[in-house]
Structure 1
Amino acid sequence: MQRTFLNAKLHRVTTTASELDYEGSCEIDGILLDAAGIQAFEQIQIYNIANGNRFTTYAIRGKENSGVISVNGAAAHKAAVGDLLIIAAYASYDEHELKNYAPNLCYVDDNNTLTRQSSAIR
């Protein structure tokens, strides 16, 4: 049996751009993608702390150390510049894989610079 668990989370990143006239997706600083283990074009869930919107899109790689978090296309209606977001990626695991399961939780400062990583919520 496969079960779906949180694989990675970028916690409280700040939206730096909201581009309606764009093909779609969420551009994320490449350093943050690597830290979280999220791949370009991987499905992500976005939870907007500012307004409660929750939506699905995919990640695209942004310039490293840019701090970019750009919500694009139709999703731009769901996030404004300055909104705090949680970006999550999930994966399916079988019972054997769950024995060594640990999520990759990434935390940032006000500039979307990685400050720490953990596998447990404090």
Structure 2
Amino acid sequence: MQLVLLKSKIHRACVSIADVEYEGSIEIPSDLMEAVGLIDGERVLVTSASKGGRLETYAQAGKPGTGTIIMNGGAAHVIKAGERITIMAFALSKTPIVPLKVVCNEKNEILRKI
């Protein structure tokens, strides 16, 4: 049996910019993506702790070290700048996996790995 298991989690990140005019996705600094094993184009679930919005999109690697997370396209109507979010990716596996998880501050700097 294949299970769908959490593989990557960025917890308590903060949306820096919401750009409705972009074609879609969430842009995440590549260094933050690397910390949790996300790859460019990977499907992610994004949830808002601020207002309860929830959506699926794909991760797009942004410039490392900026701390800038951008909600693009229609997703920017659901989750807006300033909202605290959790970004999660899942994997199919027949055996348990240990997810890579980080907690961020309001500048999207990693506070700790969990």
**For this structure pair, what is the TM-score category when the shorter chain's length is used for normalisation?**
over 0.9
Q: Which residue of 1 aligns with 2:111?
A: 115
Unaligned ranges ≥5, structure 2: none
Unaligned ranges ≥5, structure 1: none
Q: Which residue of 2 aligns with 1:56?
A: 56
**Following the alignment from structure 2 to structure 1, what is the Cα–Cα distance between the partners of residues 59 and 90?**
13
1:108 CA displacement: 1.2
Normalised to the residue count of structure 2, the TM-score between the two structures is: 0.96
1:79 CA displacement: 1.2
Q: Which residue of 2 aligns with 1:23?
A: 23
Normalised to the residue count of structure 1, the TM-score between the two structures is: 0.90
Q: Which residue of 1 aligns with 2:39?
A: 39
1:93 CA displacement: 0.5
Amino acid at match of 1:18: A
SS in 2 for 1:111: coil
1:32 CA displacement: 0.6
**Following the alignment from structure 2 to structure 1, what is the Cα–Cα distance between the partners of residues 79 and 106?**
17
Q: Which residue of 2 aligns with 1:90?
A: 90
**Following the alignment from structure 1 to structure 2, what is the Cα–Cα distance between the partners of residues 22 and 32?**
21
**Following the alignment from structure 1 to structure 2, what is the Cα–Cα distance between the partners of residues 108 and 48?**
14
**Following the alignment from structure 1 to structure 2, what is the Cα–Cα distance between the partners of residues 22 and 37?**
25
Aligned positions, number: 114
1:81 CA displacement: 1.0
Q: Which has the larger radius of gyration?
A: 1
Q: Deviations over 1:81-108 (max 9, x none)?
A: 11000000000111xx32xx21111111
- The structure with the largest helix share of the pair is 1
Instruction: State, as a whole percentage, how many aligned pairs show the same letter.
Output: 32
Give structure 1 regions of 4+ aligned residues with deviation exceeding 3 angstroms.
Answer: none
**Following the alignment from structure 2 to structure 1, what is the Cα–Cα distance between the partners of residues 13 and 93?**
27
CA RMSD of aligned residues (A): 0.8
1:27 CA displacement: 0.2
